[in-house]
Amino acid sequence: MTQNIHTPSPVFCALDTPDLARAESLAAQLVGHVGGLKIGMEFFYAHGSAGYQAIAAHQAPIFLDLKLHDIPNTVASAVRALAPLRPTLLNVHAGGGAAMMKAASDAAKEAGSAAPCMLAVTVLTSLSEADLHDMGVAGTPEEQVKRLAALAHANGMEGVVCSAHEIEILRAEMGPDFKLIVPGIRPAGSDTHDQKRVMTPPQALQAGADILVIGRAITGSDNPAQAAQDIAASLAKI
Ligand code: C5P
């Protein structure tokens, strides 16, 4: 039994900044308007556990997006080292293989009811079919995503991080309980930045996403709390 990821809002805001004061300010403004906050490598490598705790003190569920990838014993030890932070969601790379994911899942479960929901990253969306071929992976990125999602599921992962255009196929393949965490979300009419394939929050939720990871559409706004409220209002209509 891992932590309950059913937050009042499906939106997790990505705090993509190495600036502790800015991250804390965003956390203070956004708590109550989003379901949770995402902390990634950029912030965690700069500020470590103390920085994490400063954000977690705002009482929001945290997705700790560190994409762990190493031999099974090392990843399991990393999960054990991170467990006292009590992230709601934690992820590894599915490319680490079956034994690594199983070891990570087993290590997470040692935390009992405080165990994070363990997720896998399948294929980085920055990789094209040609990139996969260069790495010796035959077939399309979509085939590899499906293959790795099935491997993740079989080895204790409760869901995957996937792009918006993979939601429907993974929901169909993996069933209703497998968690789909989706970045690349943009409210209608907003800047797509460097994201190539975007969906609006209602589209992604309707397609079957469980959690929407939204960064700049909220953090880049003059009024982040209002931006988050507007997104929540668009979802309330579904
Ligand atoms: O600002 P934006 O909404 O594009 O932020 C999206 C967040 O999701 C960032 O933290 C980014 O690293 C992450 N992400 C992504 N695409 C992926 C995986 C993760 O944008 N395929």
| 102 in any annotated domain | yes
**68 has pLDDT over 70:** yes
Q: Which of 213, 214, 221 to mutate to test the pocket of ligand 1 (most atoms within 8 A of CB)?
A: 213
Q: Is residue 194 part of a domain?
A: yes
106 inside domain? yes
Q: What is the mean pLDDT of residues 97-119?
A: 98
Q: Is the pLDDT of residue 1 over 70?
A: no
Range of the domain at 23: 11-236
Q: Which atom of ligand 1 is nearest to the CA of 162?
A: 21
Q: How confident is the model at residue 238 (pLDDT cuts 50, 70, 90)?
A: confident
Does 6 fall in a domain?
no
Q: Mean pLDDT across the stretch 93-122? A: 98
Centre of ligand 1 to C-alpha 216, Å, is 9
Please report which confidence band the pLDDT of residue 145 belongs to, taking 50, 70 and 90 as the band edges: very high
Ligand 1 binding pocket mutation candidate from 16, 44, 186 (most atoms within 8 A of CB): 16
Ligand 1 atom with minimal separation from the 216 CA: 1
* 103 C-alpha to ligand 1 centroid (Å): 26
* Ligand 1 atom nearest 163 alpha carbon: 21
Ligand 1 proximal residues by C-beta, below 6 Å: 14, 16, 40, 125, 161, 163, 183-184, 193, 195, 213-217
Model pTM score: 0.95
pLDDT score at 227? 98
* 155 lies in some domain: yes
CATH of residue 225's domain is: 3.20.20.70
Assigned domain for 60 exists: yes
| Residue range 84-101: mean pLDDT, rounded | 98
180: β partners: 160
**215 CA to middle of ligand 1, Å?**
7
Residue 43 near residue 17, CB atoms below 8 Å: yes
Question: Could you report the per-residue pLDDT of 27-57, keeping only the tens digit for each?
Answer: 999 999 999 999 999 999 999 999 999 999 9
Q: Report CA(194)–ligand 1 centroid distance (Å).
A: 10
How many structural domains comprise the chain?
1
pLDDT at 60: 96
Would you say residue 5 lies in a domain? no
Please check whether residue 1 lies inside any domain of the structure: no
Ligand 1 atom closest to 161 (CA): 18
Active site residues: 67
Q: How many angstroms separate the alpha carbon of residue 34 from the centre of ligand 1?
A: 16
